[in-house]
Chains A and B, each alone.
Chain A
Amino acid sequence: MPVDMSKYLSLFVTEATEHLESLGRDLVELEKTGGTASIDSMFRHAHSVKGMAASMGFEVAATLAHRVEDLVDAVRSDASLLDRELVDLLLSTTDTLLSQVRAAAEGQPPEDSGPIERQLSERLARITGRSPSPTKVAQATARPSAPPVPPAAPKAPAPAEKENPQERDAGLGLPPRFGLKVRIAQSCAVPGVRAFLVHKRLSGLGNVFDLKPALEDLKAGRIPDGLVSLELETSAGEAGVRGALGNISEVEVLSLKPVVFTAPSPPAPMPSPESAKVVGHEAARTVRVRTELLDYFLDTAGELLLATARIREVGKALPARSQPSLDEAVDRLHGLVKDLHDKVMKARMTPLSVITDRLPRAARDIARRRERDVDLVVTGADIELDRAILDDLADPLLHLLRNCIDHGIESPEERAAQKKGARGRVLVSVRRARDRVVVEIEDDGRGMDPEKLKAAALARGLITAEVAGRLSDAEAYTLCCLPGVSTARDVSEISGRGVGMDAVKRAVESVGGTLEIESERGRGTRFILKLPLTVAVVNLLLVAVGEEIFGLPIAKVIGAVEAEAGTLSRSREAALLPYAGSLLPVHPMADLLGIPDLPRVGPRPFVVMEAESGRVALAVDRLLGQEEVVLKALSRPLDLVPGLSGVTILGTGRPVFILDVPRLLAA
């Protein structure tokens, strides 16, 4: 390969993956709604993948994508062709393509796609009555004499003879392209000869693409219905083409029209934000940023906040006349840094749709395998969560969905007997509740049987009979989160092996969330995930109070100052700290936390924080610095303590509580 393709590989992998995922979503959506809007978008996705794969020289993938494109095209003209089997076939092709993209990413040879390709070809033949054409890539590479196509857009470093229709357009100096359909009369005794002649004449005018049937078939006269279609790139113009074919007898030109490439100017608005991101020149307003980079930004913004606080403290030593101007400058700096910190936090926020978009496809697959009819409804997926939480949530969410369909939703017959609608329903709803995001996954299936769960836990020796007898139903439901407990009658491929729910619970808790389960026999089950809005990774200002260490969320810290406790002004016995032009109420942390205060002399640090009623100053013993920590949820009975928002374990192994200052002050 003359051009080094490796640097384009990661771009190809990202973009092809996105197109394929969108394609899968569109398919599921299309099957559900039967609308036509997604067909165009599906076609575009398949077309883009074909083009990308071809330009990267991944011929197998390009061929598969081409077949998908053909099939989608057929569905476009006759929507009734789209039945379950076709959707299955297209979806598994999408999966095969995805695994080929993955293989390409790892530099592995693509897995064998022969069987699926044959299925696609058969299906295509059945629908169109023609045997499928060879793909453009294969054909293009087989033409060693083809004139070089100049590399088009920067992201298409196409080796010369590769065809890459997506990147082509009139502005790039390529000759115009025509789509041509001719019919060789049924009465013709030598269709192969006529067809060959057509090909030969046209090859003389320019480059032939997308010849259907393939040249070998043409020569052998294997031309279903006498129909030949191809695309021709030529500067001869329409008249020139007609002229070239004019004197071949028994050949009728059915259609001849310029080919319009859809990719550079799509006919419909892009259906999803993902696809908008993909085409760089269309949506230059979004860029990809690596998550590690965002983490770094967040770290640095946090450090800046502390550095600013430090400058303010050091400035106290300056002569009084330079104080006001320094304060002003530091205030401004602080404002900027705080703003930066907020923006970085915001940049890490990602809508839940990033993971819920995969659910419809998964729901369909699981439902098909289990012979269930299921409608999946997702609401509120535009709500945003920190990227780090989302990443950890994808698998648990999928597992819960499996649980709902696998164990929750009954078979259509069973549902009919229960006087329920034949189609089961799984609702995934996302909503904000104060500083938490609540994700609920509920089904309208058979619900869980607390007795069965108890029996399963008992059988595994996880609880004693005595305990089982005492458990409330609500407590019994949570038994399914113990390793090895499952009430599924049969162990399916998908779930029911009793692994999983404990993993779900662990994953949810590790990001600082909680998992609750509600269930009603015969009515359904609801899994409730309450998640922190922002990261389980929090930036803390660590402070020492007495012999203890506590963490204050940096995001809520306004600043820190040092002052001599004895010099503070007082109002009705309460100390007041002068800060940024106002007097802030002082709360000794030791008192707030119920910790014996150490006797001390000299100045002590005060941390200024935002509380419900405005700013407050917290008297601490020492500032220990900033640390980024992983927040742990408070387990019983710690969650009963007001004013704690979480706990973490420092690098030294020491557990440290993270304080919720407004609640601490209110309690």
Chain B
Amino acid sequence: MRHVIFRLDKERYALPLSAIREVVVPPGQFTRVPRSPPSVRGVINLRGRVVTVVELRSLLGLPEPSPASQKIVLLDRGRRDLGLLVTEVDGIESIEKVAPAPGKPAASVRGVARLKGLAVTVLDPDGVDGAVAACFAR
């Protein structure tokens, strides 16, 4: 299956291409969402739609959200306007074999794959979606 490969700092991650609508450059300013969990960066106006942007690092429980985040990966979840803030998008690659990820299992993570000799963490779009809703509901 074809995946979009992107980076959080140096670590590589992947999401199925079919789950992604587009990649955009963040605007200069985010509108802060009051009382939102820390991983929520804010909302942006994307061609008249209000899209919630989440720091993927923070959502995945990685330390210190990266200040160098510079791309927003928009999930295409039909009825959800959700974007993930990542460091950089590398391109599209085919990933077939996904092995269980090390560490404690998380709904957002499907597993790891080997791509050109390097590890890629394959994410589960529904799991990511669920994680966002969960951090809001808290």
Residues of A bordering B, CB below 8 Å? 462-464, 466-467, 470, 478-479, 481-482, 547-550, 592-595, 632, 635-638, 640-644, 647, 649, 653-657, 659, 667
Contact = CB atoms under 8 A, between A and B. Distances in A.
A594 B43 contact: no
B32 A642 contact: no
Contacts of B29: 654
Interface of B: 16, 18-19, 29, 31-36, 43-45, 48, 50, 52, 78-82, 126, 132-133, 136-137
Contact of A478 (B35, B43, B78): B78
Contacts of B52: 635, 637-638
Contacts of A481: 79
Contacts of B35: 593-594, 641-643, 667
Given A636-B79, A647-B50, A464 B126 contact: no
A636 B75 CA distance: 12
26 contacts: A464-B16, A466-B16, A467-B126, A479-B78, A548-B34, A593-B34, A594-B36, A595-B32, A635-B81, A636-B79, A636-B80, A636-B133, A637-B136, A638-B43, A638-B52, A640-B137, A641-B33, A641-B35, A641-B36, A642-B35, A643-B34, A647-B43, A654-B31, A657-B31, A657-B33, A657-B34
A643 B35 CA distance: 9
A548 B52 CA distance: 16
Given A548-B31, A635-B79, A653-B45, A640 B50 contact: no
Nearest to A654: B31
B34 A641 contact: yes
B108 to A, nearest CB: 14
A657 B30 CA distance: 12
A377 to B, nearest CB: 31
A603 B30 CA distance: 28
A516 to B, nearest CB: 11
A641 B31 CA distance: 14
A637 B45 contact: no
What secondary structure prevails in chain B residues at the interface with A? mixed
Per CB-CB distance, the 4 closest pairs between chain A and chain B, nearest first, are A593-B34, A640-B136, A655-B31, A637-B136
Given A464-B18, A595-B32, A655 B136 contact: no
A638 B80 contact: no
B138 to A, nearest CB: 10
B34 A649 contact: no
Given A635-B50, A659-B34, 5 more contacts: A467-B19, A479-B78, A481-B79, A593-B35, A636-B133
Contact of A654 (B19, B45, B79, B137): B45
A263 B32 CA distance: 63
Contacts of B82: 636-637
Nearest to A634: B50
A649 B45 contact: yes
B42 to A, nearest CB: 8
**Which of B31, B48, B52, B132 has the most chain A CB atoms closer than 10 A to its own CB?**
B31
Nearest to B27: A653
A386 B32 CA distance: 31
Nearest to A589: B34
B132 A637 contact: yes
Contact of A655 (B19, B44, B137): B44
Contacts of A464: 16, 18-19
A464 B16 CA distance: 10
A659 B29 CA distance: 20
Contacts of B34: 548, 550, 592-595, 641, 643-644, 657, 659
Contacts of A640: 133, 136-137
B77 to A, nearest CB: 8
A649 B133 contact: no
A638 B45 contact: no
A659 B16 CA distance: 36
B50 A649 contact: yes
**Which of B19, B29, B78, B133 has the most chain A CB atoms closer than 10 A to its own CB?**
B78
Contacts of A593: 34-35
A469 to B, nearest CB: 11
A547 B28 CA distance: 14
A635 B44 CA distance: 13
Contacts of B31: 548-549, 654-657
A658 to B, nearest CB: 11
B32 A655 contact: no
Contacts of B33: 638, 641, 644, 657
A136 B17 CA distance: 72
Nearest to B78: A482
A632 B50 contact: yes
Contacts of A479: 78
Contacts of A462: 78
A593 B32 CA distance: 10
Nearest to A596: B32
Contacts of B133: 636-637, 640
B18 A649 contact: no
Contacts of B32: 547-548, 595
Contact of B50 (A470, A547, A638): A638
Contacts of A635: 50, 52, 79-81
B59 to A, nearest CB: 11
Nearest to A546: B32
A550 B43 CA distance: 13
Contact of A649 (B36, B48, B79, B136): B48
A632 B31 CA distance: 15
Contacts of B50: 632, 635, 638, 647, 649, 655
